[in-house]
Amino acid sequence: MYLELTNLKKTFGSFTAVANVNLSIDKTEFVSLLGPSGSGKSTLLRLIAGLEQPTEGRIIVDGKDVTRLPPYQRGIAMVFQDFLLFPHMTVRENLAFPLRMLKMPAAEQAERIDWVSRILSLTELQQRYPNQLSGGQQQRVALGRGLVSRPKVLLLDEPLANLDRELRRDMEIEIRRYQIELGIPFIYVTHNQEEALSMSDRIAVVNKGGIEDFADKSTIYSQPKTSFIAQFVGRSNMFAGPVVSIPTGARAIAWQDLLIPLHATGKLADHTIASAYIKIEDTLIERDDGTPAPDKIRGRLRDVIFRGQYAEYLVRMPNGAEIVASGIDSATRVSPGDNVLISWDPQKLDLFPGEVRQ
Ligand SMILES: Nc1ncnc2c1ncn2[C@@H]1O[C@H](COP(=O)(O)OP(=O)(O)O)[C@@H](O)[C@H]1O
Ligand SMILES: [Mg+2]
Distance between CA 87 and CA 110 in Å, rounded? Answer: 21
Q: Does the C-beta of 190 come closer than 6 Å to ligand 1?
A: no
CA dist 243 and 196 (Å) reads 34
Distance CA 68, CA 198 (A): 34
Measured from the alpha carbon of residue 43, the closest ligand is 1
- Asked whether the beta carbons of 273 and 240 are under 8 A apart, the reply is yes
CATH tag for 3-229 (out of 3.40.50.300, 3.20.20.140, 3.40.50.720, 3.30.420.140): 3.40.50.300
26 to each of 84, 226, 311, how far by Cα in Å?
A: 30, 24, 39
Q: Any idea where the domains of the chain sit in the sequence?
A: 3-229, 235-353
pLDDT in 10s for each residue of the chain, 358 residues: 999 999 999 999 999 999 999 999 999 999 999 999 999 999 999 999 999 999 999 999 999 999 999 998 999 999 988 778 999 999 999 999 999 988 999 999 999 999 999 989 999 999 999 999 998 899 899 999 999 999 999 999 999 888 888 888 888 999 999 999 999 999 999 999 999 999 999 999 999 999 999 999 999 999 999 999 999 999 999 999 999 888 777 788 898 888 888 876 566 788 889 999 999 999 999 999 988 888 889 999 999 999 988 999 999 998 899 999 999 877 788 999 999 999 998 889 999 988 665 4
Q: Does domain 235-353 correspond to CATH entry 2.40.30.10?
A: no
d(CA 25, CA 48): 12
List Cβ neighbours of 165 (8 Å cut-off, separation of 6 or more): none
38 lines ligand 1 (CB under 6 A): yes
Ligand nearest 37 Cα, by number?
1
Amino acid at 234: G
- The closest of 78, 161, 158, 151 to 116, measured between CA atoms, is 151
Q: How far is the CA of 196 from the centre of ligand 1 (A)?
A: 21
The answer to whether the CB of 146 is under 6 A from ligand 1 is no
Nearest atom, ligand 1, residue 15 CA: 5
**Which pTM value belongs to this model?**
0.91
**Given this model, what pLDDT does residue 273 score?**
92
Nearest CA to ligand 1 atom 16: 40
Nearest to 213 by CA among 9, 34, 16, 26: 34
Sheet of 15-25: strand order equals 15-25, 3-12, 56-61, 64-65
The residue count of the chain comes to 358
**DSSP annotation of 283:** -
Helix axes 135-147, 165-182, angle to 10 degrees: 20
